[in-house]
Amino acid sequence: MNGRHFVQQRGSEKIFTCVSRYCAECYRELKEGETLYYDLEHYRYLCRDCASRISEARDRCIHEIEESEYKESKTLF
């Protein structure tokens, strides 16, 4: 898993209420306590399977994430 693209977070009722309780890619319902992956590029939550699949695809084409973009997403909540 490449840390540049995703931020790992524990699924909590707060995230589910404020953002979404479904994976943005496969629309699977996420469970409380499950590890979620916040996509820094598209500002959405993904389940583990989708995050690792997308991470692999992105690693094939090198992509840089701006430091400021990362900080912005950390202050979202």
> Given the rule CB under 5 A, which residues bind Zn ion?
23, 25-26, 47, 50
Cβ nearer to Zn ion, comparing 15 with 50: 50
Q: Which residue's CB is nearer to Zn ion, number 40 or number 50?
A: 50
Read off the amino acid at residue 36: L
28 or 72: CB nearest Zn ion? 28
Residue 23: is it exposed, middle or buried by C-beta count within 10 angstroms (0-12/13-18/19+)? Answer: buried
Q: How many CB atoms lie within 10 A of CB 69?
A: 12
Closest separation in Å from C-beta 51 to Zn ion: 8
